[in-house]
Amino acid sequence: MHTGIEDYKGILLSGDFNKDTKKIEDILKNDSILFKRMIKVGHTGVRCQLYYIDGMVNASMIDDSVIRPLVSTSIEDKALATTTFLMSNILFTSDAKTQTDLGEILRSLLYGDTVLILENSKTAILIDSKGWRTRGVSEPVDERVLQGPREGFDEAAMLNIALIRRKLITPDLCTEMLHVGKRSETLVFLCYLGSLADKKTVELIRKKIKAIAIDGILDSNYIAEMIKKPKYCLFKTIGTTERPDIVAARLLEGRIAVVVDGTPVVLTIPYLFCENFQSDEDYYLNFIVSSVGRGLRYVCFFLAILVPAAFVALSVHHFDLLPTSFALTLTRLRGGVPFPSVIECLLLIFVFEILKETGVRMPQSLGHALSIVGGLVVGQASVEAGIISAPMLIAVALSGIAGLMIPRLKGAVLYIKVLFVIAAALFGFYGILALAFIMLLRVLSLDSFGTDYTLPLLNPNRQSLKDTIIRAPWENMLTRPAFNRNKVRKERIDD
């Protein structure tokens, strides 16, 4: 049983009009939106079968540029009714090509092209007539900026490539097209700047994408999950963005972008740990403001993962480290709370995550009401009812809010936070230290497609740190990231 386009690859058209058209119609017999029309080329009497998928094509373009010229042509000589003649003299389309392979013909047809099968011809004409509606270029909801470009990717890969291309007007920009997914035949583009990207990394990614065996790719995360190594890791080793400016900036650093049709999320490789703390608009704001913001994000990362754990450790293991007045306040406020501190903490983290998730999924108008009900009413009522203690609520809320500062690490922060709380409850600060040590080892052992994950932090030098913990002025950023073989970004111009 045939399942995908690949199964028809290598099967060539026979040249027998009836047989070839029947074959195509048999393959797509269950496709109710397949449009077919038999026309005759001018006065020659040569039959021509037209196929396209309704809704995926620009119908008026087919009418004006394909059907009308074919029908109204004045040629009478049967010998002229060949694919080559029609393409060069009759059809008014900009993109048309011939194809003999049935697999490729089907792929084009199902991706919005119009297929013309000509009587007595072993080749079909494929006319680019894609005309489906797209969402259009709009600002990505999750990557909003106060200052800077506001365009975002769309679900159409071609449009996305065009958006990148518009920012990088250079012949150095390479876009390789691949098809992934046995049944979906999703278009995947590998984009990179030939002179900057590491050839080995490009080859590695290409190999990994080609090796993907899956029925369908509906989002770039399918690919990210399948090419990522190690698979079970809390940290992202592949970057994602919906912004063409970010992709362009990363390509300029020698990274590789993977654009997947059907999703606005573009993958960028390699992805380093320090990128989690970089914001899209770091480069559009004053470098001092950006540097402060970046420093704040590092602080918030530690606050997010450590505050609840440190609080649990202090209250159940290291009570002596608390100032006496605070220790007494804590004791007073905890009086009557039915749960142990660790359970109380984990419950609050759980509730906070529920509130966060519902807030994200809710319509915006309901989201505000939810945050008021969740944050104020439930929080305050729980404290007053003695179900939770106010200091624990503050610790978990602080951690949660700090975590929102680093959205790229949102999943990792949650898991690490919970692990730290458990370690703190079991062993106090010893547990926190031990886990921190294990985490550090784990992060240090990671790599993103051959590039050390902690690269600028692991082997710091003056230049590499200029876009890591701070964002130095462009004037001073003379080199590209350390993983790039072509390091010099900017020649120093001596006055």
Partner 1 sequence: MIKKTFSLSLSLIFLFLTACTGYTESDSKYIISAMGFERVGKEIIINLQTLSADEGKEEITQNAYSFSSSTPFAAFNGVKTKLAKPVTLEHCSAIILSPDLKREDIINICEFCKNAERLNTSVYFAVCKDVKGLLECKAVSQAAGGYDISAFIETRTEDTGMSYKNRLYEILSAKEDFSPTFNLPFFIVEDGEFYIDGEYIYKDFSSFSRLDNTQSLLLSVITNRYSGGNLYIENEAAQIDTAHTYFSADLKEDRLYIKLKTKFCFKEHSQNFKNIFESDALRLLNKKEDIYDFAKLLEQKERKLFEKIKDNYKEYFNKSIIEYSVEVMVK
Amino acid at 248: A
Residue 343 near partner 1 by CB under 8 A: no
**Judged by CB under 8 A, does residue 442 bind partner 1?**
yes
Examine residue 317 and tell whether it contacts partner 1 (CB under 8 A). Answer: yes
Instruction: Give per-residue burial for 124-139: e unless 16+ CB within 10 Å, then b.
Output: bbbbbbbeeeeeebee
Residue closer to partner 1 (CB basis): 336 or 363 = 336
Bridge partners for 256 per DSSP:
269
> CA 251: distance to chain centroid?
15
d(CA 161, CA 50): 29
Sign of CA dihedral 166, 169, 173, 179: positive
What are the structure tokens assigned to 96, written together?
Answer: 């048309």
The C-alpha atoms of residue 242 and residue 244 are separated, in whole angstroms, by: 7
Using CB under 8 A, pick the residue from 141, 211, 438, 440 that binds partner 1: 438
**Cβ closest to partner 1, residue 41 vs residue 419:** 419
Q: Which of 26, 320, 494, 495 binds partner 1 (CB under 8 A)?
A: 320
Amino acid at 295: G
Residue type, 435: L
Q: How far is CA 40 from CA 31, 87, 118, in A?
A: 25, 15, 9
Q: Shortest Cβ distance from residue 427 to partner 1 (Å)? A: 5
Our finding on whether 441 is near partner 1 (CB under 8 A) is: yes
- Taking CB under 8 A as the rule, does residue 325 contact partner 1? yes
Among 18, 84, 331, 459, binds partner 1 (CB under 8 A): 331
Among 136, 230, 450, 460, which residue sits at the site for partner 1 (rule: CB under 8 A)?
230
**Nearest Cα to 51, choosing from 69, 74, 76, 26?**
26
Among 75, 327, 378, 472, binds partner 1 (CB under 8 A): 327
Window 443-462: residues binding partner 1 (CB under 8 A) = 445
- Tally the residues of the chain: 495
Cβ-based neighbour number of residue 100 at 10 Å: 15
478 binds partner 1 (CB under 8 A): no
Residues 6 or more apart whose Cβ sits within 8 Å of residue 317:
424, 427, 428, 429
Q: Does 425 bind partner 1 (CB under 8 A)?
A: yes
Q: Are 153 and 163 spatial neighbours (Cβ–Cβ below 8 Å)?
A: yes
**Of 160-168, 303-311, 424-432, 452-460: span binding partner 1 (CB under 8 A):** 424-432
Are 424 and 431 in contact by the 8 Å Cβ rule? The answer is yes
| Least distance in angstroms from the C-beta of 454 to partner 1 | 15
- In this complex, which beta carbon is closest to partner 1, that of residue 320 or of residue 494? 320
Percentages (nearest 5) of helix, strand, coil residues in the chain: 50, 15, 35
316 makes contact with partner 1 (CB under 8 A): yes
Residue 380 CA, distance from chain mean position:
39
- Binds partner 1 by CB under 8 A, chosen from 97, 387, 427, 465: 427
> Which is nearer to partner 1, 265 or 423 (by Cβ)?
423
| Member of 324, 363, 492, 494 binding partner 1 (CB under 8 A) | 324
Give the residue from 456, 470, 466 showing the smallest Cα distance to 489: 466
Residue 426 C-beta: closest distance to partner 1, Å: 7
Regarding 319 and contact with partner 1 (CB under 8 A), the answer is yes
Stretch that binds partner 1, among 73-81, 201-209, 439-447, 479-487 (CB under 8 A): 439-447
Q: Using DSSP, state whether 266 is helix, strand or coil.
A: strand
Binding test (CB under 8 A) with partner 1, winner from 336, 364, 384, 385: 336
Quick check: 385 binds partner 1 (CB under 8 A)? no
Spatial contact of 297 and 277, defined as CB atoms under 8 Å apart: yes
Q: How far is the CB of 417 from partner 1 (least distance, A)?
A: 18
Q: Which of 103, 244, 379, 431 binds partner 1 (CB under 8 A)?
A: 431
234 binding partner 1? (CB under 8 A): no
Nearer to partner 1, 283 or 430 (CB): 430
Handedness of CA 426, 427, 428, 434 (dihedral sign): negative
Per-residue x/- track, 264-303, partner 1 (CB under 8 A): ----------------------------------------
Q: What's the closest the beta carbon of residue 445 comes to partner 1, in angstroms?
A: 6
- Amino acid letter, residue 187: L
Helices (H), 324-378: 324-334, 341-361, 364-371
Q: Which residues bind partner 1 (CB under 8 A)?
A: 230, 315-317, 319-320, 324-325, 327-328, 330-332, 334-337, 340-341, 425-428, 430-431, 434, 437-438, 441-442, 445
